[in-house]
Amino acid sequence: MTTGADAMSSLEQARDSIARAHSVAVLTGAGVSAESGIPTFRGAGGLWKTFRAEDLATPEAFARDPRLVWEWYDWRRGIIAKAAPNPAHHALVQLEKTKREFTLVTQNVDGLHDLAGSGRMLKLHGDIWRMRCTECGANWPDRRTPLPKLPPHCGCGGMARPGVVWFGEPLPEGMMQEAEHAVSSAQVFLVVGTSAVVYPAAGLVPYAKRNGVTVVEINLEVTPFSEMVDFAFSAPAGELLPQLV
């Protein structure tokens, strides 16, 4: 953990590693959007303090009570719709422009990286602005908020579900392999605003270390990997990322 007197020199070292790298990979989590006013899942004020994940973010919960699950997603879509990208999102767009190889792996479903202008992106946990038909599998964008009718339906008559990945569900086909490839071929891996407890995404951090990649973590709190990474900065992403890149 980098704090106090040694903060300047570590910041400079990390900045130097990032500046020298031709290939950079980034993993983002809910903390990146916290300064945009979107609640995180864990930690102070996190969604899982008020809501139970098992009741809302599992296929079983949706099968039991699709309307309840949709009400929660409709409420969150309303919050996200009012939010704008913050300096952390913008800094990642700038970083992407300067690198030969750059991959943004995000666990976020809010679409703020898209709004900021990020290009190459792997959305491991889907997109809250997309819907998927539970009958025919169709997949389409829908940015209306609030939704006119809950639960929404597909043109085929089937019920729609949010286009996100719930606990117990597989990530989009082939995406973890793409993420692993991006991480192992990077010289620097930035891990920003994630509690790093949800797998398989969290596994990218030790995977990077095993592959000799320099790992830079930015988080307000200590994570299971803070001790293992090369640089762990305890600071708000919207303040530190623009200084780092």
Q: How far apart are the first and last CA of the chain?
A: 20
* Residue 158 lies near Zn ion (rule: CB under 5 A): yes
The SS3 call for residue 129 is: strand
Active site residue 125: yes
Q: Do the Cβ atoms of 188 and 180 come closer than 8 Å?
A: no
* Residue 154 lies near Zn ion (rule: CB under 5 A): yes
* Count of positions (residues) in the chain: 245
Q: Which is nearer to ligand BJW, 99 or 125 (CB)?
A: 125
Residues that bind ligand BJW (CB under 6 A): 29-31, 34-35, 40-43, 46, 57, 107, 109, 125, 164-170, 193-195, 197-200, 218-221, 223, 236-237
Q: Do the Cβ atoms of 140 and 130 come closer than 8 Å?
A: yes
Q: Which is nearer to Zn ion, 85 or 162 (CB)?
A: 162
Identify the helix (H) or strand (E) that includes residue 201.
none
Choosing from 22, 89, 90, 125, which is the catalytic residue? 125
Q: Which is nearer to Zn ion, 51 or 140 (CB)?
A: 140
Q: How far apart are CA 73 and CA 94, in angstroms?
A: 31
Minimal distance, residue 16 CB to ligand BJW, in Å: 22
Minimal distance, residue 71 CB to Zn ion, in Å: 21
DSSP strand pairing (139-141 vs 126-133): antiparallel
Residues forming the active site: 125
